[in-house]
Structure 1
């Protein structure tokens, strides 16, 4: 996997699978990599954003492999600190939804995931870049998806304690609490065409939240997004959309658009705050834009994932 046998595991000690028996599980994973010939160091994060700085520092110091242990948010931060480097990124899934792991077929067991990591192949992939035009201080990148509107509102209002105690069930509780409420709408511009919607999913993965598939014709290897736009200000309308997702009948459904795009612009319709999430974490609010960044990151992936993508393409 790397000519230089040094490795750092950057882990989130508050991740779902690490809060109770995290040190023991990570030590066993570290031992597996050490026995394979890697000089492996465990480094915990101390808070939000810390993984970005840690990954950037270890990359600059010439480490041979960086492994992110945590949920999709932790993986996002580690990847942010590694962009445009040649250092490969490996994953030990330990979060709530583990969308990336589910999408690619990685084991949810940390020890098995560490062993499997030694058989994965380095693949160069594109990522998404989110830029806000409202005075927000930074640009965010994402491996998986960005959501604008409804799902970002759910994430923004989600109690951290509820998420910790209930896991994915917390998202469903938060979603159903919006039933009957009016949803804020916003404008999406793609190739000079304007669309009005209350939820936009801009994705490079088929898996959504670990349980559902909304975007169904995309992959980490794509150099464009699959975009799914849901129209309507009534939250009750989403019951019909939900059935369409479960039954795989979104294509052609009234009030819904499925598109391909390299770049999108978003702006509020009224003087309301429209929230944005990236890889399952709150990122900011509109206006803003999203675009593809090609050849951005080396990710260690199961060979079976690439074969499956090639067969489906």
Structure 2
């Protein structure tokens, strides 16, 4: 999902380039308006095997459409790894769509190329109209410029890359004209087609190709001003910290907030201490950027403070963000964190082994036994490489774990004493991967859910998994409870995890919902979304 509106500028660019391409095609193929221009391409400009001809041929090969398409794939991978999902999709789709549409038009028009002394070059192949080299050059240049705007590069860098992109397109066109590889009209048509395709992709992917000169606001315009924003982020989870900083600073500046307070986490201080510092310094908004562990630490410290918290998900699972509808794309998430709607969210307060002076909070889930050991087994490097799939590999040895005895109470009433392998208390429905372990859980209803399971062996786990995924039938190894307060007591100390982080071990776990304890920034409702952006 995205919270970004369509860009009027990109919409106009798409319409203009498309109209120009259609008009240019009609004038070129149905009239003699450009016959004089195309006639000039019938005169050879190079001498075969001359130094200039060799340089021109080499440039055409180096800038071959396949090479540019590969470059766009590399940009897409680079952007995806940095959670710039819209930019990644734009880069990948722009290259593929430009090539497909251009080749389809070539096959339909089937225009012969002009005579050329370089006719045996590998780039002198196929139909002439429109130029695929030029279409891909225009698309590639536009995507590169889109990278500079999305990553909020300094103005000089944006200007420089625009000039580089323009120079590359001009050089590509001059090379094709010099080699007599295309008619002049083929070259212009290729540029218009590539620009139209990439503009359309950017429009629907919500990647803004901002105008070079920003519109001026009237001097008497009323501008509301934000306050102080504290940014608590986990540097280890940031693929590109500078891009994150530039995007957030740009978003805050656009909403007239003060210069943000940057509070990076450390291994010794994973977020709670930074949140307390933000409160002490009078922060009006706290942005937590990291995985579920960072978000849990910050949200627990902010509980009851009334200070809104925005989330920029940067971890492996990002369970809270996904469950409450916060986008995974970094630019979208930052937009929600700064300009979203403050919404009350329940937290769950948990006391372990009667240590009431050391309460813990979680927003997603608390797991005792099975999933805690699963978190302990999962290697961080494997998580970075495979994402949530890493947990599947770590789960295999745990499928044969022997059950332990648990005693469960809900809202002060003893429910059962039974064997269990899996005990999970949850505040949200999904545990990731589209799996809703507790489909009735709602982080705004003042209640929580608990699932207790005792499957042992592959067949038992297969049945339990099928029941969770399909919600068909009943599995005797799974029991579900709901309430405001719950306690779980085990016969011997068990490891436990909170929101995906292994915290420690204990024997008695007492949890109670703290309704509306956290104000969280969520995407605006459709009726309150802003109008289209430039």
TM-score (norm 2): 0.52
3-state DSSP of counterpart to 1:179 = helix
Q: Which moved more, 1:66-75 or 1:157-166?
A: 157-166
- Residue matched to 2:57: none
- Residue matched to 1:27: 246
Per-residue deviation, residues 156-199 of structure 1 (Å, max 9, x unmatched): 23223333333212211101232334344433222222242221
CA contact (8 A) 2:399 2:456 kept: no
Out of 270, 290, 293, the position equivalent to 2:514 is 293
Pairing 1:212–2:431 present: no
- Residue matched to 1:259: 481
Q: Within 5 A, what are the aligned runs for 1:216-255? A: 216-234=439-457, 236-249=459-472, 252-255=474-477
Out of 101, 105, 121, the position equivalent to 2:341 is 121
Out of 484, 498, 501, the position equivalent to 1:278 is 498
Q: 1:116 to 1:124 in 2, by over 3 A?
A: closer
Per-residue deviation, residues 135-154 of structure 1 (Å, max 9, x unmatched): 79832101111112211111
Pairing 1:163–2:383 present: yes
Out of 278, 283, 287, the position equivalent to 1:63 is 283
Q: How far did residue 134 of structure 1 move?
A: 7.0
Per-residue deviation, residues 30-56 of structure 1 (Å, max 9, x unmatched): 221222111223321122543100101
Pairing 1:180–2:403 present: no
Q: How far did residue 296 of structure 1 move?
A: 1.4
- Residue matched to 1:79: 299
TM-score (norm 1): 0.87
Size of the alignment, in residue pairs? 298
Q: Which moved more, 1:181-190 or 1:102-111?
A: 181-190
CA contact (8 A) 1:104 1:301 kept: yes
CA contact (8 A) 1:136 1:284 kept: no
Q: Whose RCO is larger (CA < 8 A, sep 6+)?
A: 1
CA contact (8 A) 1:146 1:276 kept: yes
Q: 1:134 to 1:293 in 2, by over 3 A?
A: closer
Pairing 1:6–2:228 present: yes
- Residue matched to 1:308: none
Q: How far did residue 233 of structure 1 move?
A: 4.8
Q: Which moved more, 1:78-87 or 1:133-142?
A: 133-142
CA distance in structure 1 between the aligned counterparts of 2:502 and 2:354, rounded to whole angstroms: 16
Q: Which moved more, 1:42-51 or 1:147-156?
A: 42-51
CA contact (8 A) 1:49 1:77 kept: no
Pairing 1:192–2:414 present: yes
- Residue matched to 1:100: 320
Greater strand fraction, Structure 1 or Structure 2: 1
3-state DSSP of counterpart to 1:209 = coil
| Pair member with larger Rg | 2
CA contact (8 A) 2:485 2:512 kept: yes
- Residue matched to 1:201: 424
Gaps of 5+ in 2: 1-223, 527-534
Gaps of 5+ in 1: 306-313
CA distance in structure 2 between the aligned counterparts of 1:99 and 1:175, rounded to whole angstroms: 18
Per-residue deviation, residues 239-295 of structure 1 (Å, max 9, x unmatched): 21111122133x6322222221111222223x4x32211111112222221111223
CA distance in structure 2 between the aligned counterparts of 1:222 and 1:165, rounded to whole angstroms: 36
3-state DSSP of counterpart to 2:400 = coil
Greater helix fraction, Structure 1 or Structure 2: 2
CA distance in structure 2 between the aligned counterparts of 1:101 and 1:92, rounded to whole angstroms: 8
CA contact (8 A) 1:71 1:98 kept: yes
3-state DSSP of counterpart to 2:384 = helix
